[in-house]
């Protein structure tokens, strides 16, 4: 059980932080991650921050990406915008209750985006 805000290090950095802190590999399904409307279009127009690239340079060695994940998606994964989104880990049997709680409080885009894979000597974040 853990929770972190997704801010200056982006989803990639904070997901890796949770993996390292728990001593477990974590998997995030990129297609399941909610995105703001227009985010891909904005990225395609060149609206990515320099910090996104610096974030990747800083911690990218700890993240496994699928071969077909493009540079725009990687830029969004490491985007440092301080949106205040949360990354929450809970037991699988509590998932329905956790999502219902978020939705009851107005967070309709709350979604299950990944899973903890188990203990690892060298914890990594895996994007699938």
Task: Write out the DSSP string of the chain.
Answer: -EEEEE-TTHHHHHHHHHHHHHTEEEEE-GGGS---TTHHHHHHTT---HHHHHHHHHHGGGEE--TT--HHHHHHHT------EEEEE--GGGHHHHHHHHHHTT-TT----EEEEEE-SS--EEE-
Question: Is 80 exceeded by the pLDDT of residue 81?
Answer: no
What is the per-residue pLDDT for 2? 83
What is the per-residue pLDDT for 125? 98
Alpha-carbon distance of 65 to 92, in angstroms, equals: 24
In this predicted structure, which of 4-13, 62-71, 114-123 has the lowest mean pLDDT? 4-13
Rounded to 5 degrees, φ, ψ at 88 are: -120, 135
Q: Which residue has the tokens 């188990």?
A: 118
Q: Which two tokens stand for residue 41?
A: 């279009």
CATH topology of domain 2-127: Phosphoribosyl-aminoimidazole Synthetase; Chain A, domain 2 (3.90.650)
Q: Which residue has the tokens 């990406």?
A: 65
What are the extents of the domains in the chain? 2-127
Question: Is 80 exceeded by the pLDDT of residue 4?
Answer: yes
* DSSP β-bridge partners for residue 27: 115, 126
What is the per-residue pLDDT for 84? 67
């Amino acid at each position: 059980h853990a929770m972190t805000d997704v801010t200056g290090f982006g989803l990639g950095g904070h997901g890796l932080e949770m993996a390292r802190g728990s001593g477990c590999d974590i998997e995030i399904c990129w297609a399941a991650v909610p995105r703001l409307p227009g985010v891909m279009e904005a990225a395609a127009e060149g609206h990515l921050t320099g910090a996104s690239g610096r974030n990747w340079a800083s911690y990218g060695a700890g993240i496994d990406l699928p071969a077909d994940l493009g540079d725009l998606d990687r830029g969004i994964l490491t985007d440092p915008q301080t949106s205040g989104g949360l990354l929450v880990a809970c037991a699988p049997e509590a998932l329905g209750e956790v999502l219902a709680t978020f939705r009851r409080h107005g967070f309709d885009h709350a979604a299950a985006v990944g899973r903890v894979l188990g203990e690892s000597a060298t914890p990594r974040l895996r994007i699938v």
